[in-house]
Chains A and B, each alone.
Chain A
Amino acid sequence: MKAKIRKIVTFVDETLSEQGRAVTPPIRRAAAVAVIENPYAGTYQEDLSLLIDIGEELGGLLAERAVSALGIPGNSVESYGKAAAVGENGELEHAAAILHPKLGTPFRKVLDKGAALIPSSKKRGAMGVVLDVPLGHKDAAYVRSHFDGMEVRVNDAPRANEIMVAVAVTSGGRPLPRIGGLKVSEIKGEDGLR
């Protein structure tokens, strides 16, 4: 494995009620976060292919961890997202190299498919920085009930020479969606958008 992993953290949240109303079935969301060494901390590196390969490794590993924590089959996952935080000696481009070129394919393989763009965010920050992982429906990015976000935080990461990489998966959208827009029942599933 190319990634040097210091720790892996998983989170599962389950919402049973919102504003006094029952959420049936409860919505479950899971995130898996890897804290890895940043091989290029403190230096400018032109060729980021090592980080791109690390992204491919983590895409599969973290997706498996997150889906397993969620407790449903991969093909039942409804929405997904990804994010990374680079420690202070790193560069935003390091996060981009992990997240964008190769992370998605093994992630989608764990879910059987996933036609929609995987929504993402990135930042540089100190230990304990909060990552808000954006979430969108995995087959149709315009499904409004599934526009959401999940906060993850690891108190001792990222250290200055580390990167924390997160993926999130869910069993559903927001707890009580009622602002209209494209519904899950209306997904055509051809272009990843609608």
Chain B
Amino acid sequence: MPELKIRKCLVSVEEIFHEGGPVAAFPLRRASALAVVANPFARAYHAEIRPFMDVLKPLGLEMARRLIAALGGDPKVVEGYGKAAIVGEAGELEHGALWHAPGGYAMRELLGGAKAIVPSTKKVGGPGTRIDVPVTHINASYVRSHFDAMEVGVADAPRADELALILVMTTGPRVHARAGGLAAKDIVGKDGLR
């Protein structure tokens, strides 16, 4: 079983009071957690990579816990989420796909069974690569006010043999959301979409 080797972690929290419009009664907060881990599959093609998903499970849970803590400790404040992976130069995009299950299910578990698919993106890139992590409502993917994204990156990662694994949680809609569409109050809550 490949080993989990963590080099560094980065947690960042944005608190947005306004964006040129009225100051929000409750500032929007967006938090990201990024872990830089060794890529056990770098520099060679490995046909069987799935066991690493189990290795990443505890990391997913720990990062989700850190995000909830960074947002004040109450999972009920979390309304949006997303995930992403950046694969270092000696790896393959498919290695980033290993993050889907452990990252996504960790957040859904700690948020009490969130229904919506966790939106995601991934890329291969060098140290300092930035990635725009897509964000949608945790219970209904079509809630338009919660379509958002958070840019994340770290100056010295991922190195060639590393993966940067990312989770994002947010506390509400865009700060001046007014583009219509399905509203959070109108969520039916059965299928994770509406």
Contacts and interface: CB of A to CB of B under 8 A. Distances in A.
Interface residues of A, number: 20
A12 B14 contact: no
Interface string A1-38: 00001111111111111100000000000000000000
Contact of A69 (B13, B18, B130, B155): B13
A153 B9 CA distance: 16
Contact of B13 (A5, A10, A15, A155): A10
A5 B19 CA distance: 10
Contacts of A13: 8-11, 154
Contacts, number: 53
Contacts of B14: 7-9, 154
A112 interface: no
Tell me whether chain A's interface is mostly helix, strand or loop, or mixed. Answer: strand
Contact of B12 (A5, A12, A14, A17): A12
A146 to B, nearest CB: 18
Bin chain B's interface residue count: 20 to 34
A155 B130 contact: yes
A33 B14 CA distance: 9
Given A11-B11, A155-B130, A17 B5 contact: yes
A154 B16 CA distance: 12
Contact of A7 (B6, B17, B154): B17
Interface in A136-167: 151, 153-155
8 contacts: A8-B17, A9-B15, A11-B10, A17-B7, A17-B8, A69-B11, A155-B130, A155-B151
Given A11-B11, A17-B8, A154-B14, 5 more contacts: A6-B18, A9-B12, A12-B11, A13-B154, A16-B8
Closest 9 CB pairs of A and B: A155-B151, A11-B12, A151-B155, A13-B10, A7-B16, A8-B15, A9-B14, A15-B8, A14-B9
